Structure 1
Amino acid sequence: MQIKRILWATDGSIEAEEALKYAVLLAKEYSAEIVGIYISSTKIKNLYSDLYLLRKKLFNNLVKTDELNLEARFNSIKSKLRSQGLDFTSNILRGEASTRIINFAQSEKADLIVMGTRGHGLLDKVLIGSTTLKVLKKSKIPILAFKRREKKRPGIKNILVPIDVYEKKGSALEYATDLATVINARVFVVYSIRMVGHLYSIPSVLNELIRDSSKELIQRVEEIKVKRGLNSKKASDLRIKTKVLHGINPAVAITDYALARNIDLIVINTHSRGGIKKLVLGSTAENVIQSSHCSTLVIRP
């Protein structure tokens, strides 16, 4: 896995500024370039959509002022990152935010998109249900959806990868192991069993399912090590733990485990073996993104 160009999408919020720190962290590890992007008109229209009497001249002035402020901010970032040996370029565009972000990321051949999961003081679920979720659904490029954590310094020491042992797509696990090798992080690989009535009533069936799933998890990890070309030295240095979880709601079991293990980043595929081709409301992937305490890196197989 190579990360040579990181697209940082900002809306001017505190969360977006914090997300930049993670873009910088990864850029240093991979010697990557950061490209900043800001969609100005969408923000203004959202803020003033109900003020139908707002004059066009005033609206245009607000847009221009907004763009000048962001241009100054981008210049400041460029100077700061240059002093750290990093390349930074920026672009201010207009239009529908998610569409412009996706198209620009593709045209710039970005390897990773970094976004904040909150903006303008809205609740997480509100924003994830709009711009960020639209990008997550449509983008073929991996997306790091940053979630701000109080008094938490930027860093990725523990990575969680929820997988389905009955699905052979290993994109998230491959990405996570490559990332962990570069940044020297620990990887926790989990499979969450959805509990139904007969599993509660027949403990022996659950225990057998846990044993079989545990074997599958270990086998998947070993297959990934071989596939990624990890020699014995690198394989021994790569710290991976496997765990089978169970609960009525797989997403809750995953996010609870993430919190208990002090996970910094969850790497997850965007759809399951059930045939879901994108993130949809109610899917395990989206529920994990919505309710997790930490950032998520979303991979589209």
Structure 2
Amino acid sequence: MYKHILIPIDGSALANSGLEQGLGLARALGASVTVLTVYSPFQTISMETVQLEGVRTEYERHARDLAQSYLSEAAARAKAAGVACATEMRESSNPYQAIIDLAVTQGCDLIAMSSRGHGAMAAMLLGSQTQKVLAHSTLPVMVYR
């Protein structure tokens, strides 16, 4: 069945619940997991980027540190569950594409992720990353709510 599962997380309670469910599935199947977190690049509307260089550097350091904390916690949970786990961090303004790209390059055969379960109108307006993964992935996607 599935041997390598990608589990994207964002540090939210819902993503942590999805992580637990994904780890449970991996343990039951004897699969390994890769846990991914994607952070957004620094963006500004100012034309004077020299003035913002310190802000950019601080933002990037904070974003990487926060992402690493999510991944460290996920790796500890995987270890406690007896599941082989690798972790990955990516910077991208299109998280859904980073998720799909990593799943393909790492040879994952399933993406297991959580969804906030927005109603149809909210999902149309907000454009969930989970929906975008579902729409663009050629791999199977399991969605936890």
Query: Match of 1:211, as an amino acid?
Result: D
Question: Contact 1:259 / 1:293 at 8 angstroms: preserved in 2?
Answer: no
- Unmatched 5+ residue regions in structure 2? 45-51
Q: Does 1:182 align with 2:28?
A: yes
Which secondary structure state, in structure 2, belongs to the residue aligned with residue 192 of structure 1? strand
Do 1:270 and 1:278's aligned partners in 2 also have CA atoms closer than 8 Å?
no
Q: 1:174 to 1:278 in 2, by over 3 A?
A: farther
Larger RCO (alpha carbons 8 Å, 6+ apart)? 2
Residue 161 (structure 1) aligns with: 7
Q: CA deviation at 1:196?
A: 3.8
* Amino acid paired to 1:288: V
Match of 1:254 among 66, 91, 99: 99
1:38-57 correspondence runs (5 A): none
Structure-2 residue corresponding to 1:289: 134
**In structure 2, how many angstroms separate the alpha carbons of the residues matched to 1:225 and 1:173?**
13
- CA displacement at 1:225 relative to structure 2: 5.8
Cα deviation for residue 174 of structure 1 reads 1.2
The farther-off stretch of 207-216 and 288-297 is: 207-216
Deviation (angstroms), 1:187: 0.5
Greater helix share, 1 or 2? 2
1:277 aligns with 2:118: yes
Give unmatched runs, 5+ long, in structure 1. Answer: 1-154
Distance 1:194 1:211 in 2: 13
- Does structure 1 residue 197 correspond to structure 2 residue 43? yes
Please report how far the alpha carbon of residue 224 of structure 1 lies from its aligned counterpart in structure 2 after TM superposition.
Answer: 6.4
Q: Is the 8 A contact 2:40 2:91 kept in 1?
A: yes
Q: Percent identity?
A: 24
CA distance change for structure 1 residues 278 and 220 in 2, over 3 Å: closer, same or farther? farther
For the aligned residue pairs, the C-alpha RMSD in angstroms reads 2.3
Equivalent position of 2:47 in the other structure: none
CA contact (8 A) 2:38 2:67 kept: no
Supply the distance in 2 between the matched residues of 1:286 and 1:210 (Cα, whole angstroms).
25
Q: Mapping of 1:114-153 within 5 angstroms?
A: none
Q: What is the rounded CA distance, in whole Å, between the counterparts of 2:66 and 2:114 in structure 1? A: 22
Q: If the length of structure 1 is used for normalisation, what is the TM-score?
A: 0.40
Larger Rg: 1
The residue that corresponds to 2:48 in the other structure is none
Question: TM-score, with normalisation over the residues of structure 2?
Answer: 0.77
- Structure-2 separation of matches of 1:278 and 1:288: 17
Match of 2:67 in 1: 213
Shift in CA distance, 289/244, structure 1 to aligned 2, threshold 3 Å? same
